[in-house]
Amino acid sequence: MSEFTTAFIGAGNMSRSIIGGLVAGGVDPRSVSASNPSKGPLEALEKLGLTELGHSNVEVVGNADVVVLGVKPKLIQAVCEELAPVIRDDHLVISVAAGVTADNIHRWLGSKGEVVRCMPNTPSQIGAGASGLYARASVGDANRQRAEEVMSAVGVVRWVQEEPLLHAVTAVAGSAPAYFFQFMEAMIAEAGRMGLDEESARTLCAQTCIGAGRMLAEGDVDAAELRRRVCSPNGATERAVDAFSAGGLDKLVSKAMEACAARSEELAQEFS
Does the annotation place 13 within a ligand binding site?
yes
Beta partners for residue 52, in sequence order: 33
**Band (1; pLDDT cuts 50, 70, 90):** low
**Band (161; pLDDT cuts 50, 70, 90):** very high
Average pLDDT rounded to a whole number, residues 142-155:
95
pLDDT for the residue 267:
87
Domains and CATH numbers, the chain: 6-164 (3.40.50.720), 176-268 (1.10.3730.10)
Average pLDDT rounded to a whole number, residues 97-115:
95
CA 205, CA 92: separation in Å to the nearest integer? 41
Q: What is the mean pLDDT of the chain?
A: 95
Q: What is the pLDDT of residues 5-35, one digit of tens each?
A: 999 999 999 999 999 999 998 999 999 999 9
- Sorted by sequence, the CB contacts under 8 Å of residue 8 that are 6+ apart come out as 15, 18, 19, 32, 33, 34, 35, 60, 68, 70
Average pLDDT rounded to a whole number, residues 55-81:
94
pLDDT for the residue 3:
84
Q: What are phi and psi of 174, to 5 degrees?
A: -55, -50
**Band (269; pLDDT cuts 50, 70, 90):** confident
Does the annotation place 104 within a ligand binding site?
no
CA 141, CA 213: separation in Å to the nearest integer? 31
Q: Please report, rounded to a whole number, the percentage of residues in the chain having pLDDT higher than 90.
A: 93
Does the annotation place 135 within a ligand binding site?
no
Does the annotation place 128 within a ligand binding site?
no
Does the annotation place 14 within a ligand binding site?
yes
Q: Kindly report the number of other CB atoms within 10 A of residue 62's CB atom.
A: 11
pLDDT for the residue 15:
94
Does the annotation place 9 within a ligand binding site?
yes
Long-range contacts of range 56-59, CB-CB < 8 Å, 24 or more positions apart?
57/9, 57/82, 57/83, 58/82, 58/83, 58/85, 58/86, 59/35
Q: H or E segment at 179?
A: helix 176-193
pLDDT for the residue 28:
94
Does the annotation place 10 within a ligand binding site?
yes
**Band (156; pLDDT cuts 50, 70, 90):** very high
pLDDT for the residue 63:
83
Q: What is the pLDDT of residues 222-253, one digit of tens each?
A: 999 999 999 999 999 999 999 999 999 999 99
Average pLDDT rounded to a whole number, residues 198-207:
98
> Is 101 a residue whose pLDDT tops 80?
yes
